[in-house]
Amino acid sequence: MLVDSYDRVVDYIRISVTERCNFRCQYCMPEKPFSWVPKENLLTFEELFEFVKIAVDEGVKKIRITGGEPLLREDLDKFIKMIYDYKNDIDLAMTTNAFLLKGTAQKLTDAGLKRINVSIDTLKPNVAQEIAGKDVLANVLAGVDEALKVGLKVKVNMVPMQGVNSDEILDVLEYCKKRGMSIRFIEYMENSFAKEEIKGLKSKELLEVISSRYTFEDEGFDGSSPSHYYVMDDGYKFGIIEPYEDDFCKKCNRIRLTAEGNLIPCLYFDEAMSIAHFVKNGDIKNAALVLKEVVKNKPEKNRWGGEDHETSSRAFYETGG
């Protein structure tokens, strides 16, 4: 079992399979980075799988594939199948913008994928274009429909931003509720790559908007999920992710692996250790030692909240959000 210095059990790994993305979201990657990681520096799926086996043998129970945009990486279904065949009760999920999902959802499900989180920040084509830098909405919504059709469980993530999509909080919530998909509103997390003028909505403001149409009860947190949940009278649950609050880190059970093989203990912090050399050389023992070291060094909390509130210098498209 992997346990950090604050007695938190780490049993969840998020693997970013590429930092590249086909969207240029204002809050994440508004401009194409100066240079991408060269393709030859990316770990192959076989190398990533070597690490997955170590992590699973150490007690990891949940793996989320993310990016950049994970569907840009060819043969992703084969990687998913490798993991599924190794341990078919792993909670295997993916976070995607769904742009390429219509043509891939069936293949991914057949390979063993169970659940996806899709980013939907708006239901207006022109606003989607403004946020993502291109005309994306029709493909995204078609991707979501296909995912539901092939039986994937779908959760939606929305980042509400003042003056951009803050007037659509109830519309996106309704869209999800009608389709039986849960929604999590993510408070915008400041980072030095995002557009400077973005102002995100905080949970208090979000709750005010939602209470203008619905009544709901505060359900608190569910296990290690970073989401603060609320349940409506008819049982529909929605969540808010509040990284500026202390509770966000208390039950954190996750670490992150980048496509280049950097193992990151916290979404906020720059500290990382590489497993690339070890997995490339089949040195399982040392890769496992790095994993344990990273877990041991996991910081108690991020620095978005509190009095010494800071902006993160880490790119979300690199860590996978």
Q: Does the footprint of ligand SAM cover residue 253 (CB under 6 A)? A: no
Q: Which is nearer to ligand SAM, 2 or 93 (CB)?
A: 93
- Among 319, 299, 290, smallest CA distance to 4 is for 299
Residue 89 near residue 99 (C-beta atoms within 8 A): no
- Closest to ligand SAM by CB, 226 or 265: 226
Pairing between β-strand 254-257 and β-strand 262-264 as defined by DSSP bridges: antiparallel
Q: Which of 4, 11, 69, 168 binds ligand SAM (CB under 6 A)?
A: 69
Exactly one of 95, 122, 139, 258 binds ligand SAM (CB under 6 A); that residue is: 95
Closest-by-Cβ residue to ligand SAM is 321
Helix H or strand E encompassing 155: strand 153-158
Q: Binding residue for ligand SAM (CB under 6 A) from 169, 194, 206, 255?
A: 194
User: Sign (positive/negative) of CA torsion 79, 84, 90, 96?
Assistant: positive
Site string (141-170) toward ligand SAM, x via CB under 6 A:
----------------x-x-----------
Nearer to ligand SAM, 97 or 302 (CB): 97
Torsion, Cα 131 33 28 261, to 10 degrees, reads: 140
7-41: b (≥16 Cβ within 10 Å) or e:
ebebbbbbbbbbbbbbbebbbbbbeeeeeebeeee
* Minimum CB distance to ligand SAM, residue 316 (Å): 4
Residue 79 found at the interface with ligand SAM (CB under 6 A): no
Considering only 10, 13, 100, 189, the residue that binds ligand SAM (CB under 6 A) is 189
Min dist CB 11 to ligand SAM, Å, is 20
Only one of the segments 7-15, 21-29, 81-89, 247-255 lies at the binding site for ligand SAM (rule: CB under 6 A); that segment is: 21-29
CA distances to 133, 148, 196, 283, 312 from 25, rounded to whole Å, are 7, 24, 13, 38, 17
Cα torsion 213, 214, 218, 224: sign: negative
Footprint on this chain of ligand SAM (rule: CB under 6 A): 21, 27-28, 66-67, 69, 95-97, 119, 157, 159, 186, 188-189, 191, 194, 316-317, 320-321
